[in-house]
Amino acid sequence: MSSTPPKTDAEFEWTDAYAMGYGPMDETHEEFVQCVNAVLQASDDDIPARLEELAQHSREHFAEEDRWMTETDFPARECHMNEHAAVLQSVSEVQALVSQGHREIARDLARELARWFPGHTDYLDSALSHWMCKQTIGGKPVVLRRDIRSGKIDELLAES
């Protein structure tokens, strides 16, 4: 199931479409979405703190996934780890610009991360999730997704 990126700042929220079925990954991904959204919604004065929280989370998040890939000899780890490194480099560069007073660039980064994340999870993280489930429980992940878009529940109830 391909998830589509958000169209506006206010739309980047956790959705079941981002769930991969490997609990530790899903929890970390939900935190990532919250951190990106916090940057998008931050006042100019709060941008440096929210960006630092995103940077810290991303370092820990990517280090954890990189460790999983290395420790379990995940076959496609190089491309995945390179993508993590590129994101961390971008975050670091934006932090330097924000420290010089360029606050809006942090929101630009957050918008780009919101566009990047669905594709990253659909392709790279879904493969890692499958791999980790196979390594830890001997099978594929099971993901149950709800369609909880605004109004959809009311439509479903009206049809019954």
Give the domain ranges of the chain.
9-159
Residue 27: both structure tokens together: 């929890």
User: How many whole angstroms separate alpha carbon 121 and alpha carbon 30?
Assistant: 12
Give the separation between CA 129 and CA 112, rounded to whole angstroms: 23
14 and 121 Cβ atoms separated by less than 8 Å: no
Q: pLDDT tens across 51-103, in order?
A: 999 999 999 999 999 999 999 999 989 999 999 999 999 999 999 999 999 99
21-64 pLDDT tens trace: 999 999 999 999 999 999 999 999 999 999 999 999 999 999 99
Is residue 91 within 8 A of residue 109, CB to CB? The reply is: yes
Residue that is written with structure tokens 């959705």 in the block:
15
Give yes or no for a contact between 10 and 39, defined as CB atoms under 8 angstroms apart.
no
- The arrangement of secondary structure in 9-159, i.e. its CATH architecture, is Up-down Bundle (1.20)
For the entire predicted model, the pTM comes to 0.83
